[in-house]
């Protein structure tokens, strides 16, 4: 950090990236950086810093204020994402399943209707005017009956809030009736696709059946201009298949791909040595995938984007977005931005916390607690504080304004909510990704692509 102007600096390629707390930034040469360090600002350098909002003047202070307002807009809205776990039962057993699912016959892990209604009552106490209720599992379509009851009840109890619904499903139980219901109720649908058959089946199985369901879903959803989205997880089985995985998403008409890392949760813990990749392996795979995606966008136009890169581009290029990516804010979205409700009514700070299942992240119970008391509880406040990136390690990082900590990932990796950031997988990989994007946007042809993604 430059002590004179409060800038954070990182070398990227032949230049330096200088950032401010608000997220303003510019590229600096080594000579310019030395001049700033000595306090010797020429008129030209001062104008450059002013134009890029790295020093505050009467001319630009309103822009800096808007940056701060946008950066911290998530703090006072209330939890807007609410994840309901309708059952832990699943008709698959993926090798890395984060949820730690059980057999389809284990109905003792089903959410009952009373708990579902109390969960909706609790959700509607959130001060947020935009609420997304996301159905997860296990496989939530095993509780299709409950999904219908929940939506009916939520609409009957709602008074003036905008309700949105989402479904995370392996699609194997999807059919025409359920798809039409999703259209009628405005339910967003997301599935999982790890790549071509030779990759997907090693991680999840049922590739052929999934592709049939993807085709059916896209046919029906697209008739009403509704998208089908998908996510992939990077394992050792993914390595060497970056082109094939991206091509699989293109072949199946997905609008984006997110090159997600594997989390140390659920079944993944027991298979970690066989399926997990190192930070170096992951960043190499991510770079190969991104190079290929950018090459395709240069050759064919905006055919597909990488989701995390789009989100980071929105932050760097200061493009306002309705969406708040809860993993890259400080404090993170746990508790104040999202909550997760287990099948038994237990309330967790986020979905990953629910998957981890440790009582340290369990905030309350829909049968006993009120929203305001839970959010203001000492436990919730402590978890929120643990995700604020005002640590010494973060404070010297140029990417602090765009980043955030994850207490759950820290706990899963280190056994404490306080990360050893020098050895943290998440920190290493995010720094690499930020470096990559900043290096690319030096070049107009790539900056144009990132601008398009950020605005789309």
Q: Residue 86's pLDDT is what?
A: 98
Q: Residue 423's pLDDT is what?
A: 85
Instruction: Please tell me the distance from the alpha carbon of residue 18 to that of residue 31, in angstroms, as a whole number.
Output: 13
Residue 368 token pair: 């006993």
pLDDT in tens, 160-194: 999 999 999 999 999 999 999 999 999 999 999 99
* pLDDT band per the 50, 70, 90 thresholds, residue 439: very high
Residue 43 predicted with pLDDT over 90: yes
Q: Residue 412's pLDDT is what?
A: 87
Displacement of CA 195 from its chain's centroid (Å): 20
Q: Please state the rounded mean pLDDT for residues 236-257.
A: 98
Q: Residue 98's pLDDT is what?
A: 78
Q: Which residue has the higher pLDDT, 3 or 224?
A: 224
pLDDT in tens, 190-213: 999 999 999 999 999 999 999 999
Percent of the chain with pLDDT over 90: 83
Residue 30 token pair: 């080594």
Percent of the chain with pLDDT over 70: 99
Q: Which residue has the higher pLDDT, 5 or 96?
A: 96
Residue 394 predicted with pLDDT over 50: yes
Query: Side by side, which strands form the sheet with 25-28?
Result: 8-12, 15-19, 25-28
* pLDDT band per the 50, 70, 90 thresholds, residue 62: very high
Residues recorded for the chain: 456
Q: Residue 3's pLDDT is what?
A: 42
Q: Which residue has the higher pLDDT, 392 or 94?
A: 94
Residue 1 predicted with pLDDT over 50: no
Q: Please state the rounded mean pLDDT for residues 55-60.
A: 94
pLDDT in tens, 322-335: 788 888 999 999 99
3-state SS of the chain is: CECCCCEEEEEECCEEEEECCCCCEEEECHHHHHHHHHCCCCHHHHHHHHHCCCCCCCCCHHHHHHHHHHHCHHHHCCCCEEEEECECECCCCCCCCCCCCECCCCHHHECCHHHHHHHHHHHCCCCCCEEEEEEECCCHHHHHHHHHHHHHHHHHHCCCCEEEEEEECCCCCCCHHHHHHHHHHCEEEEEECCCCHHHHHHHCCCHHHHHHHHHHHHHHHHCCCCCEEEEEECCHHHCCCHHHHHHHHHHCCCCEECEECCCCCHHHCCCHHHHCCCHHHHHHHHHHHHHHHHHHHHHHCCCCEEHHHHHHHHHHCCCCCCCCCHHHCCCCCECCCEEEECCCCEEECCHHHHHHCCHHHEEEECCCCCHHHHHCCHHHHHHHHHCCCCCHHHHCCCCHHHCCCCHHHHHHHHCCCCCCHHHCHHHHHHHHHHHHHHHHCCCHHHHHHHHHHHHC
Q: Residue 101's pLDDT is what?
A: 73
Residue 419 predicted with pLDDT over 80: no
pLDDT in tens, 83-126: 999 999 999 989 998 777 788 888 999 999 999 999 999 999 99
pLDDT in tens, 261-282: 999 888 888 899 999 999 999 9
Q: Residue 420's pLDDT is what?
A: 81
Residue 4 predicted with pLDDT over 60: no
Residue 444 predicted with pLDDT over 90: yes
Q: Please state the rounded mean pLDDT for residues 402-406.
A: 93
* pLDDT band per the 50, 70, 90 thresholds, residue 378: very high
């Amino acid at each position: 950090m430059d002590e004179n102007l409060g800038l954070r600096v990182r070398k990227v390629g032949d230049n330096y990236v200088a950032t401010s707390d608000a997220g303003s930034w510019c590229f600096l040469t080594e000579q310019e950086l030395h001049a700033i360090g000595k306090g010797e600002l020429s008129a030209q350098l001062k104008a450059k810093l002013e134009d890029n909002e790295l020093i505050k003047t009467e001319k630009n202070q309103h822009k800096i204020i808007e940056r701060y307002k946008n950066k911290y807009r998530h703090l006072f809205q209330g939890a807007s994402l609410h994840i309901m776990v309708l059952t832990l039962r699943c008709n698959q057993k993926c090798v890395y399943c984060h949820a730690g699912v059980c057999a389809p016959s284990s109905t003792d892990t089903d959410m009952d209707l009373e708990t579902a209604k109390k969960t909706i009552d609790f959700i509607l106490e959130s001060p947020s005017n935009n609420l997304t209720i996301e159905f997860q599992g296990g496989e939530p379509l095993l509780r299709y009956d409950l999904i219908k009851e929940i939506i009916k009840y939520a609409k009957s109890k709602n008074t003036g809030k905008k309700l949105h619904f989402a479904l995370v499903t392996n699609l194997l139980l999807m059919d025409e009736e359920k798809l039409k219901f999703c259209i009628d109720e405005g339910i967003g649908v997301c599935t999982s696709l790890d790549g071509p058959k030779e990759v997907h089946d090693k991680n999840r199985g049922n590739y052929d059946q999934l592709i049939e369901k993807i085709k059916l879903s896209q046919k029906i959803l697209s008739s009403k201009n509704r998208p089908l989205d998908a996510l992939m997880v990077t394992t050792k089985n993914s390595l060497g298949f970056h082109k094939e995985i991206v091509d699989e998403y293109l072949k199946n008409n997905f609008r984006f791909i997110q090159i997600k890392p594997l989390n140390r949760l659920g079944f993944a813990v027991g298979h970690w040595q066989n399926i997990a990749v190192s930070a170096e392996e992951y960043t190499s795979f991510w770079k190969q995938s991104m190079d290929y995606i950018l090459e395709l966008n240069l050759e064919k136009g905006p055919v597909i984007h990488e989701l995390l890169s789009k989100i980071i581009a929105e932050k760097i290029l200061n493009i306002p977005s309705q969406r708040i990516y809860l993993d890259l804010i400080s404090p993170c979205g746990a508790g104040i931005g999202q909550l997760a409700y287990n099948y038994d009514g237990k309330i967790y700070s986020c979905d990953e916390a629910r998957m981890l299942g440790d009582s340290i992240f369990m905030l309350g119970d829909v049968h006993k607690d009120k929203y305001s008391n839970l959010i203001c509880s000492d436990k919730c406040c402590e978890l929120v504080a643990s995700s604020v990136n005002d640590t010494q390690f973060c404070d010297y990082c140029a990417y602090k304004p765009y980043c955030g900590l994850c207490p759950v990932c820290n706990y899963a990796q280190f056994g404490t909510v306080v990360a050893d950031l020098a050895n943290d997988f998440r920190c290493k990989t995010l720094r690499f990704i930020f470096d990559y994007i900043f290096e690319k946007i030096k070049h107009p042809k790539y900056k144009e692509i990132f601008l398009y993604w950020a605005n789309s």
